[in-house]
Amino acid sequence: MLALIKKHMAGYRLIAALGLVLKLLEATIELFVPILIALIIDTGLYSGDFSYILRIGVIMLALYITGYILAILCQFFASKAAFGFSFNLRNSLFAHITSPCFAASSSFSPAALISRLNTDINNAQNAVNRFIRLGSRAPFLLVGALIMALILHPIMALIIFIAASFISIAIFFIMKRAAKTLRKINTGLDETARLSGDIFSYAISNDSAAKKHHAQQEFSYQVKKLEKNSIRFFLISLFSSPLSYLAVNIVIAMILYFGGAFVYGGSLSQGEVVALINYMLQILNALIIMIMLAIVFNRAIMSAKRINEVYDSCGDASHAVREIILHEQLKKEGDK
């Protein structure tokens, strides 16, 4: 997948980098909001200074508006970069498929090639889009929230860190199981595409009824198998979300229990307890985003393997053709 991105992101690397930077700035703003909430509780509400509450509230509003603008700009750059990447990749793959060397040595069916030109490239495009929008934000938010919690109270941060570690390990094993099922789904998609093409060809060529009946039975079997694997994949993937919420709610209860003791002892303020809960929720949000990204990236990695199978079927003979396509595309982009 990385090789495809490196090769076909030509002309869109700058705006992709800008999208990543904007998303990191938005995540940085989000990390400072719980501190402002803690200041409102500990300073403004405790002393009854409503002018102080208003000032901090205006700062929070300005931060939210800035984050919203940054998110919109990031979305624009991410979409442009992802569509540009898929445009380059689709042109390159089509040039490879139509090259003389591929026609002489290929064993791929038309349905399999169409699936790679459409579904697989769309999966890769979606992965690039999601990575620019969320891929940098989630790990940064996860690490940043842990660091901010550590600054507020090391012992409470240790509780949060242990909980986040257990959740991450559980998610890893769940996603590993989901990846195996996803491979079966991709194989099933190829089979159903091939069988549907056979059925149409039998209908057009007026082949025997026995061939048509056998193809229809095999197609029905493959569709049921694909349905079963798809349901299993989504059930496995969705199981991680309620597991994360359950673990986080347990941790929030622990934060309130131990935080109350620390507040009573004077080493922690009420506002800081609220800030720690907010950081735990940010960690949960980052973990859920990483779950979704794992699903998207699993699909993209499988699709990238299928795309590379097409490229590898003809070796490097059509490398020059792909280079010409990319060169022409970059030239057109420069003219614009």
pLDDT, residue 318, reads 44
Q: Given this model, what pLDDT does residue 265 score?
A: 82
pLDDT for position 73: 92
Specify the pLDDT at position 316: 45
Give, in order, the Cα–Cα distances in Å from 37 to each of 5, 60, 61: 41, 9, 12
Residue-level pLDDT, tens digit, the chain, 336 residues: 777 777 788 888 888 889 889 988 988 898 888 899 888 988 888 777 888 889 999 999 999 999 899 989 998 999 899 888 888 888 888 887 877 776 656 666 676 777 788 888 888 888 888 888 887 788 888 888 888 888 888 888 888 888 778 777 777 777 777 777 777 776 777 677 777 766 666 666 665 666 666 777 777 777 788 778 778 777 776 776 677 677 778 888 888 888 888 888 888 888 888 888 888 888 878 877 877 787 788 778 878 888 887 777 765 444 444 555 555 555 555 555
Q: Could you tell me the fold of the domain covering 2-335?
A: ABC transporter transmembrane region fold (1.20.1560)
Burial of 98 (0-12, 13-18, 19+ CB in 10 A): exposed
Structure tokens at 223: 């569709």
CA pair distance 157, 139, nearest whole angstrom: 17
Question: How many Cβ atoms are within 10 Å of 86's Cβ, its own excluded?
Answer: 19
- HSE of 215 in the Cβ direction (CA atoms, 13 Å)? 18
- Three-state SS for the chain is CHHHHHHHCCCCHHHHHHHHHHHHHHHHHHHHHHHHHHHHHHHHHHHCCHHHHHHHHHHHHHHHHHHHHHHHHHHHHHHHHHHHHHHHHHHHHHHHHCCHHHHHHCCCCHHHHHHHHHHHHHHHHHHHHHHHHHHCHHHHHHHHHHHHHHHHCHHHHHHHHHHHHHHHHHHHHHHHHHHHHHHHHHHHHHHHHHHHHHHHHHHHHCCCHHHHHHHHHHHHHHHHHHHHHHHHHHHHHHHHHHHHHHHHHHHHHHHHHHHHHHHHHCCCCHHHHHHHHHHHHHHHHHHHHHHHHHHHHHHHHHHHHHHHHHHHCCCCCCHHHHHHHHHHHHHHHHHC
pLDDT the model gives residue 266: 80
What is the value of pTM for the model shown? 0.70
So what's the pLDDT on residue 306?
80
